[in-house]
Amino acid sequence: MATTSSTSLQTIMALEMINGDGVFNESGFEEVIRGTAASIPVIAIVGPQSSGKSTLMNHLFRTDFGVMNAQIGRGKTTKGIWIAEARSDIEPLAVVLDLEGTDGKEKGEDDRAFEKQTALFAIAVAHTVIINMWWSDVGREHAANRPLLKTVFEAMLSLSLFSPEKTTLHFVVRDGNSKTGTPSNELERILNEDIEEIWEAVPKPLGNEGTLLTEIFNVEVTVLSHYEYMRDKFDEEVVQLQKQLISHNLDLSTSKISLSSAKKIWDIIKNNKGFEVPPFRLMFATTRCDEIAMDKLGLFQSNQAWLELEQNAKTQLVKEFGAQTNSILTTYLTDYDKETKNFESSTNGSYDQQVHEVRSSKRRDLTLKALKVVYPAYMNTLGHLRSETLRSFTTQLRARRENFSLSAFESFQTCYDSCVLQFDQQCSDYATVELANWEDDASTAREQLLREIKEHALNQLRDELSISLTTKVLNAVRDGSVRDKWGCIRSFMETENETAKTAAVGIFGSENEQIVSDLEKHARDRVVATFKDESLNVDQLMRERFILALAMGGNTMSTKEEAYRQCLDMLSTMAVIRLDDAYDVVQTVLRSELLMDANSNDGIFLSPVTWENVPLQMTLITPLRCKEIWTNFKQEMEAHLAIVDNAYQEHQQQQQRSGTGTGWSLPKWAILGLWILGVPAFIVLLYWNPMLASRLAIGAAVSSGLVTALQNGRYMYSATQEDIETDDVPSRHPRIMESLHQNLNTTYECLTIAQRILNLATPVVA
Ligand SMILES: Nc1nc2c(ncn2[C@@H]2O[C@H](COP(=O)(O)OP(=O)(O)OP(=O)(O)O)[C@@H](O)[C@H]2O)c(=O)[nH]1
Ligand SMILES: [Mg+2]
């Protein structure tokens, strides 16, 4: 039995790779081959038991395979397969395998099966197989090594048919060259005859019946001198033999199964109890094709160009993604085809067909595995294509909607068509990996894109509707000339809904009930929300209305009553949402309950929380709250009126006393407006109501106070702008800003014209 301890510095430790029971020592094996180059020669020795195999290997490669102790007696010394890495002083020379001997008195049927299995294993992995024999067995009809030779030939034959290079069979004849024995050249001749005879008897695969031994093997013979009687000569011959073995294997065939697959091969051989050569051929093809495929997959995965493509595809659309990936993949598949060329079926035998199948199926596996590596990058590419197309759609639609109009959606179809075309074109130009069959993924991405485009367009449509409705609601509420505000709101809502519906049909092809009702709901919600916001501000709206009413009517008492009436109507407008019904009851109740009593402020009774016949969800301000607001409002207005009246009179009296001009004759409503609302809000009121601005200008134009008014106007202009800009109104309602500016310009123009008139009529007062 071999020992694993080193006996000298040069001795190389051997390790049991497969034990006598066929158990593979995986960890030990990996230890031996770790760091071993894939191209290192593998040399195995087979032959009859106790024929000096281990002794020869130890002399050839300085290994420490166990050898028989002659004192104890003959029997199996080496069991299973032992392995060692042979080294020169500087570098590894070879991996050597020492096999359990064949033949011998202990052998039973099981041993014979095991013998064949180990021999097959050695043949599958070794580049050179040494067949060791006693000189006395050469030419013997019933020599112990004959069945072994037959097995070796059968296995070698089937393997070598697929091997691009010949395998070396090195026959070593022991104890030759003695003076009394057969001369070595005669031994060689007889041995060659033996070999030919056995070769002839070995059944050849279909279509290869005439194959010559020399077509697939390099046959070499070495006769070694007697180990004990001619030791010096023996040692010399061993040195020569070592050189020969190593030099043969300098340029190694790649067709051998690599050592890294040794465990797998052993498992296959071991599980193939009823051993026959053809399954073994299949096994060889399977393992080899698998190895080559794995190798190509590894090379593909570490290919620099691919890694760059993969990396780039993470962050951007790579225009040549499909074509480049395909070309890199094809390179490795072509390499696979070249290296597995020997497994192409060359005969009509059924096993050849299977081998051919194996080759193709391993190629398919390789393709699938490589494509699996590519898939995430492909999906990224589709993702980029999708988002770029969506971006391009958004840009196109935005460009067409510059003027903020629902009707811009009529161009939806044009944008849509050009974007879909762009996606299809780029998908086929940039993303298609010809080797893959990913059409389904591409069409899923396409469907998702179409959904996203429509969703985006619908969102835009909603936004557009919101902006349009909000602006119109605000206009209606603040525009003094609109009496029936809710009637006006209902009417433009209807128009806007119609336009939105047409736009939606443009987007979705036909009228989609769900979308139309969603849009209607959206429009309604928007109006309600805007109105709710405004109703929180009802006091201010009433104040503005008060000034507006006074300005439009003149400064008489009946105008004040009318102004109060309009303010109460404003309160009524803001108290209830009237999208479905006019709910006239609210106005009637408020007028009868509050207006009659306008001057006394008490004795008013309103039904408490609800308006009669008005659903609660339509109520923004309850009757009681209305009363509260009204009472406060009236008190406030009366107080302001009194102050402004006093100041106005006082000022006029002062001017009369001092006899300076016709006095300060800005209209009283304007003074009241500035007093109650403050400068910014007053100027905003002017913007909403250009009529008011021109009245102010006309009023001011006939008085010397115009310059002050104008300066105020200028001041107001900047103050208001600042004020407005600190509010978030501009960003929320860009169109309000636009309209404000327009009205501001109108106001300013009026004031400028008025100043010119004044300049002609009276001297300017600084
Ligand atoms: N006559 C002769 N004896 C040898 C030679 N080589 C080795 N021996 C002896 O033969 C015996 C068997 O040697 P091993 O090297 O153990 O033989 P083996 O073929 O490895 O034996 P198994 O592993 O049991 O199959 C030992 O006693 C060796 O000393 C040789 O060339 N000539
Ligand atoms: Mg041995």
DSSP per position, 237-267: HHHHHHHHHHHHTSS--TTSPPGGGHHHHHH
Instruction: Give residue 743's domain range.
Output: 678-766
Q: Answer whether 520's CB lies under 8 Å from 493's CB.
A: no
Closest-CA residue, ligand 1 atom 6, reads 52
Q: Which atom of ligand 1 is nearest to the CA of 66?
A: 16
Q: How confident is the model at residue 592 (pLDDT cuts 50, 70, 90)?
A: confident
Does 47 have pLDDT greater than 60? Answer: yes
pLDDT confidence of residue 463: 87
Distance (Å) from CA 131 to ligand 1 centroid: 14
Closest-CA residue, ligand 1 atom 8, reads 52
Distance CA 345, CA 339 (A): 14
Question: What is the Cα 102 distance to its own chain's centre?
Answer: 61
User: Lowest-pLDDT range, 182-186, 254-258, 632-636?
Assistant: 254-258
Distance (Å) from CA 142 to ligand 1 centroid: 21
**How many other C-beta atoms lie within 10 A of the C-beta of residue 718?**
9
pLDDT confidence of residue 755: 46
Q: Among 120, 113, 156, 107, which residue's Cα sits nearest to residue 46? A: 120
Q: Per residue in 555-566, is it b (16+ CB within 10 Å) or e — as a string? A: eeeebbeebbeb
Count of structural domains, the chain? 5
Average pLDDT over residues 213-218: 79
Q: Which atom of ligand 1 is nearest to the CA of 101?
A: 25
Q: Give the model confidence (pLDDT) of 102-155 as tens digits.
A: 864 445 555 567 887 888 788 878 889 999 998 888 877 767 677 777 777 776
SS3 (DSSP) at 342: helix
Q: Among 217, 48, 14, which residue's Cα sits nearest to residue 131? A: 48
- Bigger pLDDT: 328 vs 724: 328
pLDDT confidence of residue 692: 75
Average pLDDT over residues 43-67: 90
* 216 part of a folded domain: yes
Q: Is the CB of 55 under 6 A from ligand 1?
A: yes
Q: Answer whether 172's CB lies under 8 Å from 133's CB.
A: yes
pLDDT confidence of residue 557: 57
Which ligand is nearest the CA of 130, by number?
Answer: 1
Q: Is the CB of 728 under 6 A from ligand 1?
A: no
Q: How confident is the model at residue 433 (pLDDT cuts 50, 70, 90)?
A: very high
Distance (Å) from CA 619 to ligand 2 centroid: 105
Closest-CA residue, ligand 1 atom 14, reads 52
* 417 part of a folded domain: no
* 714 part of a folded domain: yes
Closest-CA residue, ligand 1 atom 27, reads 70
Q: Is the CB of 174 under 6 A from ligand 1?
A: yes
Same domain (yes/no): 350, 495: no
Does 709 have pLDDT greater than 80? Answer: no
Q: Which atom of ligand 1 is nearest to the CA of 77?
A: 24
Distance (Å) from CA 54 to ligand 1 centroid: 7
Same domain (yes/no): 508, 589: no
Q: Give the model confidence (pLDDT) of 637-659 as tens digits.
A: 998 888 878 777 776 676 677 76
Same domain (yes/no): 213, 197: yes
Distance CA 481, CA 689 (A): 8
Q: Is the CB of 51 under 6 A from ligand 1?
A: yes
Same domain (yes/no): 521, 553: no
Most confident of 121-125, 456-460, 508-512, 677-681: 456-460
- Bigger pLDDT: 47 vs 87: 47
pLDDT confidence of residue 162: 52
Q: Give the model confidence (pLDDT) of 673-699 as tens digits.
A: 777 887 667 777 877 776 776 676 655
Which domain-ending residue is among 343, 363, 396?
A: 396
Q: Among 675, 360, 417, which residue's Cα sits nearest to residue 547? A: 675
Which domain-ending residue is among 535, 566, 589?
A: 535
Which value, to the nearest 10 degrees, does the dihedral of the CA atoms of residues 275, 280, 286, 291 take?
110
Q: Answer whether 15's CB lies under 8 Å from 66's CB.
A: no
Distance (Å) from CA 196 to ligand 2 centroid: 27
- Bigger pLDDT: 163 vs 219: 219
Distance CA 758, CA 105 (A): 141
Does 316 have pLDDT greater than 60? Answer: yes
- To test ligand 1's pocket by mutation, which of 63, 68, 232 has the most ligand atoms within 8 angstroms of CB? 68
Q: Which atom of ligand 1 is nearest to the CA of 234?
A: 31
Does 669 have pLDDT greater than 50? Answer: yes
Distance (Å) from CA 85 to ligand 2 centroid: 17
User: Lowest-pLDDT range, 98-102, 174-178, 191-195?
Assistant: 174-178
pLDDT confidence of residue 38: 63
Q: Which atom of ligand 1 is nearest to the CA of 67?
A: 16
Distance (Å) from CA 98 to ligand 2 centroid: 7
Q: Is the CB of 664 under 6 A from ligand 1?
A: no
Distance (Å) from CA 245 to ligand 2 centroid: 19
Per the DSSP assignment, residues forming a β-bridge with 133 are 173
Distance (Å) from CA 64 to ligand 2 centroid: 10
Distance (Å) from CA 99 to ligand 2 centroid: 7
Per the DSSP assignment, residues forming a β-bridge with 130 are 45, 170
Distance CA 548, CA 554 (A): 10
Q: How confident is the model at residue 97 (pLDDT cuts 50, 70, 90)?
A: very high
Q: What percent of the chain is predicted at pLDDT more than 70?
A: 73
Same domain (yes/no): 100, 245: yes
* 415 part of a folded domain: no
Same domain (yes/no): 285, 260: no
CATH of the domain at 188: 3.40.50.300
Q: How confident is the model at residue 157 (pLDDT cuts 50, 70, 90)?
A: low
Distance (Å) from CA 191 to ligand 2 centroid: 23
Query: What's the whole-number average pLDDT of the chain?
Result: 78
Distance (Å) from CA 183 to ligand 1 centroid: 22
Same domain (yes/no): 470, 546: no
Q: Which atom of ligand 1 is nearest to the CA of 76?
A: 24
SS3 (DSSP) at 601: coil
* 406 part of a folded domain: no
Distance CA 278, CA 577 (A): 91
Same domain (yes/no): 748, 637: no
* 697 part of a folded domain: yes
Q: Is the CB of 303 under 6 A from ligand 1?
A: no
- To test ligand 1's pocket by mutation, which of 16, 18, 51, 235 has the most ligand atoms within 8 angstroms of CB? 51
Which domain-ending residue is among 535, 567, 597?
A: 535
Q: What percent of the chain is predicted at pLDDT more than 90?
A: 30
**The total number of residues written for the chain in this structure:** 766
pTM, rounded to two decimals = 0.59
Q: Which atom of ligand 1 is nearest to the CA of 78?
A: 23
Distance (Å) from CA 69 to ligand 1 centroid: 9
Same domain (yes/no): 145, 210: yes
* 218 part of a folded domain: yes
Distance (Å) from CA 149 to ligand 2 centroid: 18
Same domain (yes/no): 298, 194: no
Q: Is the CB of 77 under 6 A from ligand 1?
A: yes
Does 178 have pLDDT greater than 80? Answer: no
Distance (Å) from CA 51 to ligand 1 centroid: 5
Q: Which atom of ligand 1 is nearest to the CA of 47?
A: 19
Q: Which residues 6+ apart lie within 8 Å of 551 measured at CB?
A: 667, 669, 670, 673, 692, 695, 696
Q: How confident is the model at residue 554 (pLDDT cuts 50, 70, 90)?
A: low
Q: Which atom of ligand 1 is nearest to the CA of 50?
A: 21
Same domain (yes/no): 266, 295: no
Q: Is the CB of 80 under 6 A from ligand 1?
A: no
Q: How confident is the model at residue 313 (pLDDT cuts 50, 70, 90)?
A: very high
Average pLDDT over residues 281-293: 82
Same domain (yes/no): 71, 105: yes
Q: For the chain, state the CA radius of gyration.
A: 52
* 431 part of a folded domain: no
Closest-CA residue, ligand 1 atom 23, reads 78
Q: How confident is the model at residue 191 (pLDDT cuts 50, 70, 90)?
A: confident
Q: Is the CB of 275 under 6 A from ligand 1?
A: no
Q: How confident is the model at residue 738 (pLDDT cuts 50, 70, 90)?
A: low
Q: Is the CB of 225 under 6 A from ligand 1?
A: no
Q: Answer whether 633's CB lies under 8 Å from 641's CB.
A: no
> What tokens appear for 568 in the block?
């109460």
Q: How many helices (H) and strands (E) in the chain?
A: 26, 7
Which DSSP category does 34 fall into? Answer: T
Q: Is the CB of 78 under 6 A from ligand 1?
A: yes
Does 619 have pLDDT greater than 80? Answer: yes
- To test ligand 1's pocket by mutation, which of 61, 67, 81, 230 has the most ligand atoms within 8 angstroms of CB? 67
Q: Answer whether 157's CB lies under 8 Å from 210's CB.
A: no
Which ligand is nearest the CA of 67, by number?
Answer: 1
